[in-house]
Amino acid sequence: KNGMTHAILEVVAGGIVQTAKDIHRYVRCTLLNSTKPFEDVVKSAQDSLRWLCHRKFLEWNEETKLYSTTPLGRGAFGSSLCPEESLIVLDDLLRAREGLVMASDLHLVYLVTPINVGVEPNWELYYERFMK
């Protein structure tokens, strides 16, 4: 599901799909569709759309019958974070905004620090850059 959710967000935010029919066409072209029954793929896409709309990444306009991206969805798309990671970062930032006065450049360090690091950073260089 995670992969489908991320894929749906990317194609809507990227302007590739807007309507339910577009999404239907898109899921027909996925690798998942060639390995699973189409009904399962459609259900996964529908679940992903519901999840993205419920968590305010996407909006459905009942009049125009179009999906559009919210500021949160555009931020997640632009950051290349998966939607679940975006919610973690959003929660961290909202909590920081509530009770923390960022009087230094520490918030900039936070913004450039990835939440899942596969490579150990050079902490000495990191510290030197922070102190400049």
The 10s digit of each residue's pLDDT in 105-131 is 776 677 667 777 677 778 888 888 888
- Residue 94 is predicted with a pLDDT of 83
For the chain, give the mean pLDDT.
87
Architecture of domain 2-131: Orthogonal Bundle (1.10)
Pairing mode, strands 58-61 and 66-69 = antiparallel
Closest Cα partner for 33 from 20, 19, 43? 43
* Residue 1 clears pLDDT 60, i.e. is over it: no
- Residue 111 is predicted with a pLDDT of 67
Closest Cα partner for 84 from 100, 101, 97, 72? 72
**pLDDT tens for each residue of 62-89:** 999 999 999 999 999 998 889 999 999 9
- Written as six digits, the tokens of 113 are 């620090």
Residue 2 binned pLDDT confidence (cut-offs 50, 70, 90) = confident
Q: How far is CA 58 from the centre of its chain?
A: 10
Domain boundaries, the chain: 2-131
Cα–Cα distance for residue pair 111/71, rounded to 1 Å: 17
- Residue 73 is predicted with a pLDDT of 96
